[in-house]
């Protein structure tokens, strides 16, 4: 599959920065769906895959371009995988990283097991009705911390501790995050499929 210009089915500025850094060396021009006045797609499904596929098809249909979508979130073992696909709205509407983090720490307080993982699934469609979308995923294991550390990243990054690195995700440089992250893993798998 040879691609030059792809619409990113997201309005999340943090995701756009990460994807742009990972895709620009390939000569792929990534344009956020906001440049085309594409509304956010509904995400009614219980799985990351279904939500990502819906977002990719929605952006491709609205723009006529190939579209890349991700659905990602934090899955906490003691909470049965929650917040999962509801990570961005875990504390309710409107979306707020600060409220989501506070709510997660509160929900996890009675549990000794703080293990969690970030999960990402990517879907790339060549057109809205693509019968063979490319799909890739990645996981990044760590622990939820009560007290935030670091000022980088977005979402739950300041509360996501990486024992192997001895830092939170928010303490990593963008390059380190892209090297280790669930999104970086999924993108590398997607690159292999594109080849």
pLDDT for 179-195, tens place per residue? Answer: 999 999 999 899 888 77
Angle (nearest 5°) at CA 23 between 17 and 25: 115
Question: Mean of the pLDDT values across residues 80-92?
Answer: 96
pTM above 0.85, yes or no: yes
Domain, as residue range, for 133: 5-194
pLDDT tens column, 143-164: 999 999 999 989 999 999 999 9
Q: Is 16 left (phi over 0), alpha (psi -120 to 50) or beta?
A: alpha
Neighbouring residues of 19: CB distance < 8 A, sequence distance ≥ 6: 8, 30, 68, 183, 187
Q: pLDDT band at 166, cuts 50/70/90?
A: very high
Domain count, the chain: 1
C-alpha to C-alpha distances, 46 to 41, 64, 90, 176, nearest whole angstrom: 15, 27, 14, 30
Dist CA 179 CA 185 (whole Å): 8
Sheet holding 29-32, edge to edge: 29-32, 5-8, 67-76, 115-125, 134-144, 160-162, 167-168
pLDDT tens column, 28-41: 788 999 999 999 99
- 99 CB-contact burial (10 Å; exposed 0-12 / middle 13-18 / buried 19+): middle
What's the CATH number where 179 sits?
3.90.950.10
Residues labelled catalytic: 71
């Amino acid at each position: 599959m040879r691609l030059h210009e792809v619409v990113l089915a997201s309005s999340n500025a943090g995701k756009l920065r990460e994807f742009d850094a990972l895709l620009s060396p390939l000569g792929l021009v990534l344009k956020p769906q906001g440049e085309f006045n594409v509304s956010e797609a509904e995400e009614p499904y219980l799985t990351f895959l279904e939500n990502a596929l819906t977002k990719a098809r929605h952006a491709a249909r609205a723009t006529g371009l190939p579209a890349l979508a991700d659905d990602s979130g934090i899955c906490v073992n003691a909470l049965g995988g929650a917040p999962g696909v509801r990570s961005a709205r875990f504390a309710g509407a409107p979306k707020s990283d600060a409220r989501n983090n506070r709510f997660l720490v509160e929900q996890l307080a009675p549990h000794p097991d703080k293990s969690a993982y970030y999960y990402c699934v990517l879907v790339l469609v060549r057109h809205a009705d693509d019968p063979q979308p490319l799909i890739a995923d990645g996981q990044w294991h760590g622990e939820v911390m009560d007290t935030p550390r670091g000022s980088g990243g977005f979402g739950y990054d300041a509360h996501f501790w990486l024992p192997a690195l001895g830092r939170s995700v928010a303490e990593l440089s963008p390059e380190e995050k892209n090297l280790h992250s669930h999104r970086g893993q999924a993108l590398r798998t997607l690159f292999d499929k594109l080849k």
